Amino acid sequence: MADLTFNTTSGQTVARSLMILYLNTGTSSTPVWSPLGKRVEDSSMELDWSDESTQDILGNVYGTMKKPVVTQSFDPYKLDGGDAAIVKIWNLAVKDQDAQALAAQDVLLVHFYAGTSSAPFAERYDSAMIRPTGLGGEGGGDMEMPIDVTFGGTRTTGTASKDSSTGAVTFTAA
């Protein structure tokens, strides 16, 4: 795949809302991509490259890296009955305590700012681990269930499209 360009205006920064992680709340063959992060105000992907630096006897420094382990935390994450993604995670974690299912979730990361605006770059991970780390909140406040996502499984790159009227997202592998 050739290098991509950003479809945003040159000289302007890129809005955070142009990178969205979706959870498949449908089936593997008929995915329904539901966005993660409603009411989450700050969340970033963290890339662990397992990097090491060594120095030879001549004083030269060499570095080694591996493919990154990518994680992303959503904290706090407020429960909302209209948020299909968090409802699915709550069922798997709280109702079923299904660790195996939580460790094999189908997620789609769409970079709406990269590629063309009608077919932005997207990457699908078919076995991501979603780890709820708590459930509760302060009195008089909101119920929260923070989660950590570790991107895993087969990584398939491609493009996404978003229906302008329904908001439904479709992934097409490259």
Place of tokens 């994680």: 71
Minimal distance, residue 131 CB to other proteins, in Å: 19
- Is residue 124 within 8 A of residue 156, CB to CB? The reply is yes
What is the DSSP track for 17-47?
GGEEEEEE-S-SSS--EEES-TT-----EEE
Binders of other proteins among residues 69 to 128 (CB under 8 A) are none
Minimal distance, residue 99 CB to other proteins, in Å: 26
Is 35 a residue that touches other proteins (CB under 8 A)? Answer: yes
Is 155 a residue that touches other proteins (CB under 8 A)? Answer: no
Q: Return phi, psi of residue 113, to 5°.
A: -90, -10
Candidates 2-10, 13-21, 54-62, 122-130; binding stretch for other proteins (CB under 8 A): 13-21
Minimal distance, residue 43 CB to other proteins, in Å: 5
User: Pick from 4, 5, 16, 96: which binds other proteins (CB under 8 A)?
Assistant: 16
Is 39 a residue that touches other proteins (CB under 8 A)? Answer: yes
Minimal distance, residue 62 CB to other proteins, in Å: 37
Is 168 a residue that touches other proteins (CB under 8 A)? Answer: no
Question: 3-class SS at 92?
Answer: helix
Within 10 Å of residue 121's Cβ, how many Cβ atoms?
Answer: 21
What is the DSSP track for 96-121?
S--HHHHTTEEEEEEEEEEE-SSSEE
Q: Give the binding site for other proteins (CB under 8 A).
A: 15-17, 20, 35, 37-43
